[in-house]
Amino acid sequence: MIIDILNEKISEILGNDNIRVIRSNRRELCDYQSDDVFKLAKIEHRNPMEIGEEIVEKLNSISDFNEYFDKVEFVRPGFINITVSDKLINKVLRDMMNKPKFGLNKPEKEELFFLDYGGPNVAKPLHVGHMRTAIVGESIKRIISYMGHKTISDVHLGDYGLQIGQVIYGIKKDGIDINDITLEYLEETYPKMSALCKVDEAVKNECATITKELQDGNLEYQKLWKVILEISGNDIKRLYRYLDVSFDLWQGESDAYKYIGKTEEFLNSKNLLEISEGAKIVNVSEESDKLEIPPFLFEKSNGAYLYGTTDLATIYERMERFNPDHILYIVDNRQNLHFEQVFRVCKKSNLTPSTDLEFLGYGTVNGMDGKPYKTRSGDAPKLDNLFNEVKEIFLNKREENKSMEDKDLDIIVNAILKFADLQNSRERDYIFDINKFSNVVGKTGPYILYTDLRIKKILDGTSILDLSDNIYNEVDRNLRLGLTEFNIALNHAFLERKPSYVADYIYNLAVLVNNFYQNNYVLNEKNELKKNDWLYVLSLTNKMLEELLDLIMIKIPTFM
């Protein structure tokens, strides 16, 4: 891309790589700039203005200046401002059009990333919070894969915890036959039993006992658990399919139990497990801690295991089976302390000697009141209800929407929800305003879809030749330069594990291309060379938008 080309050329001219350029945030002044003159002045103990003027003089005197630059100037006290040539912009665009992934560089080493996201609890309906972990995780996975690395994803179901004991208690209490258990029954029973446990200590203890006996292999409870898992699991898969979210592995807490013994042996071999008040713990505090980090609880005094136990055993399994270079957890910010404890045990025991463990926290989806998004009844909305609510609001936006096919409506609902979420940096909370995010103007999914469909309409039935070296006006140049910065957005998204960089770039590209075709009447253009060049640029924009939209799981409808 242009930055790489400029840095390579400048290093060649100067005989070193001390001067690196970055994208200018003042495009009215220049395209790229560097303030490394100050750094070089410290190294050489010289006046930065003297060094800067020397560098600019060297750059301006090269024989192939016009191949790369339109203008290079030094701005006191130590800035080098660069405006690139139209010829260079168009050369890069031709390369992008003709190369896979628009010429994105392959990684020096292909690495294996294991991603843990989703994490819904079986027997509980999925709500808006489950949507966030699913689409953020799926997008991060797609970005990593697009960058040339291998990925394995696991939903890691919560299928062996207290909520299962509560549901089994409800089944026994209601006298329900195993063949009569339905999804509707499960979704009614769990909240009732959960609420009962909060006010009745005896019921809470009985549910905990059932959970422990299930984990210990009670045959009756195992049979009920398998039925619950199948019914609830099928519905979870249906909802993820709607969101275009997929997993390589559909494992859960239950799968970790066979590795708990091995994990315990491993920790004992490192002399890390201690007995404290009858429980088995690992002390993970460090002298540098500013806040107290409690010990990691491996086994309770009654012999029961916790989330931390199964999470650690799951890491043991993943290391044994896959030995990934990275394990990424896309989970709620509020689980930060939990994973800090788990990661410290891994580090202290050397369970993951060359594997990076990454906690990728995400914020909450909030309503207009700034609190976690709720229905009028005060509950987090079930995903099915959320999908229908968004669909209804979009249908009522304008009369034309009501004639859409269901397939297109589902694509648009997905675009509304996903773009609303992924345009936000994942670690931040955000306010979910359905009316705002369903508009066809502004920073919304429908605006992006409308933009792409408009480009496709212009391109329909046209034939395109190669691109010339001409650029015809400012909005034309802005779009072309924007296209060349594709790799910047992708690299940021990959390195920081943030799909928001991709969503922002998509939106900025949509704004640039809207300005472009509002100011340039492409199909009515009489100059055939100019018309061809503009069609070429639109074709590249369309191709890029659709590949980028796939990274955030947004498809294109046939009509809007």
Whether 1 has a pLDDT exceeding 90, the answer reads no
pLDDT tens digits, 228-262: 999 999 999 999 999 999 999 999 999 999 999 99
Supply the pTM of this predicted model. 0.95
Which pLDDT value is given to residue 434? 87
**DSSP SS3 for 152:** strand
Residue 441 φ/ψ, nearest 5 degrees? -125, 155
β-bridge partners, 382: 127
pLDDT tens digits, 520-548: 999 999 999 999 999 999 999 999 999 99
Cα–Cα distance, 189 to 421 (Å, whole number): 31
Whether 368 has a pLDDT exceeding 90, the answer reads no
Whether 376 has a pLDDT exceeding 70, the answer reads no
pLDDT tens digits, 262-297: 999 999 999 999 999 999 999 999 999 999 999 999
Q: What is the 3-state secondary structure (H, E, C) of 260-329?
A: HHHHHHHHHHCCCCEEECCEEEECCCCCCCCCCCCCEEEECCCCCCCHHHHHHHHHHHHHHHCCCCEEEE
Cα–Cα distance, 512 to 344 (Å, whole number): 46
Whether 304 has a pLDDT exceeding 90, the answer reads no
Q: Fill in the amino acid letter for 291.
A: L
Percent of the chain with pLDDT over 70: 99
Which pLDDT value is given to residue 238? 97
Other CB atoms within 10 Å distance of the CB of residue 547:
13
pLDDT tens digits, 132-176: 999 999 999 999 999 999 999 999 999 999 999 999 999 999 999
Flag the least confident range among 26-35, 365-374, 440-449.
Answer: 365-374
**DSSP assignment string, 417-475:** HHHHHHTS-TTS-EE--HHHHT-SSSSSHHHHHHHHHHHHHHHTT-------S---SHH
Which pLDDT value is given to residue 378? 62
The residue to which tokens 């936000």 are assigned = 424
CA atoms in the 13 A half-sphere facing the CB of 499: 31
Spatial CA neighbour of 67 closest among 82, 86, 50: 86
Whether 432 has a pLDDT exceeding 90, the answer reads no
Cα–Cα distance, 161 to 305 (Å, whole number): 9
pLDDT tens digits, 179-189: 999 999 999 99
Domains of the chain: 2-84 (3.30.1360.70), 162-242 (no CATH)
To which H or E segment does residue 385 belong? Answer: helix 383-395
337-366: average pLDDT: 97
Q: Are 183 and 280 in contact (CB under 8 A)?
A: no
215-221: average pLDDT: 95
Whether 424 has a pLDDT exceeding 90, the answer reads yes
Average pLDDT along the chain: 95
Q: Are 347 and 355 in contact (CB under 8 A)?
A: no
Whether 429 has a pLDDT exceeding 90, the answer reads yes
Which pLDDT value is given to residue 377? 60
Tokens of 43: 């190294």
β-bridge partners, 365: 430
Which pLDDT value is given to residue 381? 84
Cα–Cα distance, 31 to 70 (Å, whole number): 10
Whether 78 has a pLDDT exceeding 70, the answer reads yes
pLDDT tens digits, 85-111: 999 999 999 999 999 999 999 999 999
Cα–Cα distance, 480 to 89 (Å, whole number): 7
Other CB atoms within 10 Å distance of the CB of residue 551:
22
To which H or E segment does residue 525 belong? Answer: none
